[in-house]
Chains A and B, each alone.
Chain A
Amino acid sequence: MEHEQHPQAPRVLTRRGAWRGRSAVLISGLTVALVVVTVISAGRGQLGVPPAEVAGSIMNRLDGGLEWLLRRIGLEVDLPLGIGPLPSHPQGENTLWLVRFPRVSLAVLVGAALATAGALMQGVFGNPLAEPSIVGVSPGAAVGASFVFVTGVSWLGEWTVPIAAFVTGLLATLLVYALSRAGGRTEVVTLILTGVAVTAVAFAIVAFATFVANPEAREQIVFWQLGSLNGARWPAVAAVAPFVGVGLVVALLSARSLDLLSLGDRTARHLGVHVERLRIVLIVAVAMLVGSGVAFAGVIGFVGLVVPHLVRMVAGPGHRLLLPASALGGAVLLVGADLVARTAIQYADLPLGMLTALVGGPFFFWLLRRTRRRAGGWA
């Protein structure tokens, strides 16, 4: 029996090679898509800037910035990067650098954070339907942020909102985790119903915060709750960037352990994973990612559900590709969705959370049906 199997060995090897090729295509494809959608999105709006001028403006600043950096270390060089036309409209440069780029950058960060958080949660819970906004993590993070708006505290400067969102988001994640797990497993029904309960309590607290707020803070909370990137400025981008960065790095480092975790806690441990430590680290990472997603953009749902599932359909469930591809895909999705939100109706900035829920809700329902059919009922 064994002898005839040896021709199999090279086939396994070529499969690995094919995997590398396919993942390179997917990652570079998504990167190109992100660059394109970013340039287009930055140019569109009440003041239109053609893509070539957007690219020219970026390259000129890049050129100037790099030459300045090189001068700081004593090098006087003229880099050939300042190519392309500058915005022809007198206000073009200002519009791009003061309004559009911060907004697009925040969309990139928030999209990457939410999609990665979704993929991480699904891995940690061993459940493909775990998603921050569905199981109550995003609403939990909203509690912290809304209290900052109401009380007006700012001990930590620009970081106050993301840190408050992180803390309450972490509490919500731990709560959902503790309540929905039984015997080392998370069943779909228990997870979703736990999410319903946590979301209800979280939104009750947000409602209370809205109730006691002064009119100005109240309006802020209401619009922020709908989910929007309206009014994004560089300080907000700078405040969430470190959180997203750390969350992404932790996610990528744990990719292989997450693969093993899909075999179950005990088997993962038998394969050398320190399961308890991994879970704590990843739950903190999820809270950081969701907290930074929610802090300035509000509750934008379903990104963490839709993106990882699409990536799994294309690339399979391996986390070493799933996590970076989800980050890129989430960024593409949110930049694109924000472009639609800004431009679908003239002179109106539609709430982004409304758009993602409009698409994500039916998608969630479809996944639910499919999971149920596969499992043969909920049991």
Chain B
Amino acid sequence: MGMSLLGLRRRGRLPAWVEPGEIITAARGVSVRLGGSLVLDDVSLEVRAGEVLALVGPNGAGKSTLLSAFAGDVTTVRGAVDLHGRRLGEWTSSEAAMRRSVLLQQVTLSFPFTVADVVRMGRAPWSGTVLEDSDDDAVAEAMAATDVASFADRRFTSLSGGERARVALARVLAQRSQLVFLDEPTAALDLRHQELVLSVARRHAAGGGAVVVVLHDLNVAGAHADRVAVLSRGRITAAGPPRLVFTPGLLSDVYAHDIQVLDHPNSSAPIILPRR
């Protein structure tokens, strides 16, 4: 099959494994302008293999835009994004797809494919490579991890919002890239599945992967992320372990609301509450 014409079969350089602790992707002085206003202003952020990094901040702070910049979806007016030690633009689409996967907030599908078909689409970057042989394993594993295997034969378009979100996550996991971007993966999910998704992220990082996840819930971020980056008006206000970053003063300032941070009785995660 000569798919090279349309960009799917031109096999590029297979990814090298980035050792835990090494930088896997980095934004370097990135500014993004959307509709005339500066949505990201000189943002620099390094992501290392083996960590879960949460992007938090109020609405409109630029979290999703930063994720888009990392994914290469928006053009930067200044600065650049590195992936695996090279500029993002130096990788072809399929080479980038072997190195990072992206779960968007809005999951859509124009035609009624089955759940199994959708998850299998995550294997597209590997078609024609030696790793194509592990397609079936990757699909089955991803469906098991996200608790969707029981409805593998149903049409995606017939699923509820929460089920769709998990199927989309399964597709991302099936891609088996070391670096994973998740844009609000828990927005449509109940508590059990919210914890399921974040434990999947934790496990991915424990296995040497890197996860960058946009989260709204500061408690979820504080409980599951190794590091958090707080965005406010297109800039990074603070980045580091949640214990150090989530202080009442900083959060109250960023969210323009009086916020208190309490100690959890039997875990190290902070409890963040607005003062009512």
Contacts and interface: CB of A to CB of B under 8 A. Distances in A.
B8 A269 contact: no
Contacts of A123: 110
A25 B230 CA distance: 57
Interface stretch (A7-15, A137-145, A155-163, A325-333): A7-15
Interface in B67-110: 71-73, 92-98, 100-102, 104, 106, 108-110
A2 B121 CA distance: 22
A368 interface: no
B5 A256 contact: no
Contacts of A312: 111
A197 B134 CA distance: 50
Interface in A92-138: 123, 126-128
Contacts of A127: 110
B254 interface: no
B59 interface: no
A271 B136 contact: no
Interface string A1-26: 11001101101110100000000000
Contacts of A266: 71, 73, 102, 104
Interface string A268-288: 011111110110010000000
A317 B112 contact: yes
Contacts of B244: none
Nearest to A374: B157
Contacts of B143: 5, 8, 12
Number of contact residues on A: which range applies? 35 or more
Interface in A241-276: 250, 253-254, 256-257, 259-264, 266-267, 269-275
A256 B7 contact: no
Interface string B106-134: 10111111101110011011010000000
B19 interface: no
Interface residues of B, number: 51
A270 B111 contact: no
B188 interface: no
B3 interface: yes
Interface string B247-263: 00000000000000000
A12 B114 CA distance: 11
B201 to A, nearest CB: 15
A259 B113 contact: yes
Interface in B12-33: none
A318 interface: yes
B19 to A, nearest CB: 24
B93 A273 contact: yes
A316 interface: yes
Given A263-B108, A273-B93, A316 B114 contact: yes
A247 to B, nearest CB: 13
B223 interface: no
B145 A2 contact: yes
A272 B131 CA distance: 15
Contacts of A261: 110
B3 A274 contact: no
Contact of A271 (B92, B112, B122): B122
A253 B124 contact: no
B269 interface: no
Contacts of B137: 9
A8 B8 contact: no
Contacts of A264: 104, 106, 108, 110
A277 B116 contact: no
Contacts of B3: 253, 256-257
Interface stretch (B37-45, B146-154, B233-241): B146-154
6 contacts: A12-B116, A262-B111, A264-B104, A271-B121, A277-B7, A317-B111
Given A5-B149, A266-B73, 12 more contacts: A2-B144, A2-B145, A5-B143, A123-B110, A126-B110, A257-B6, A262-B111, A266-B104, A270-B71, A272-B97, A272-B98, A274-B92
Interface of B: 1-3, 5-8, 71-73, 92-98, 100-102, 104, 106, 108-114, 116-118, 121-122, 124-125, 127, 136-137, 139-140, 143-145, 147, 149-150, 152-153, 175, 196
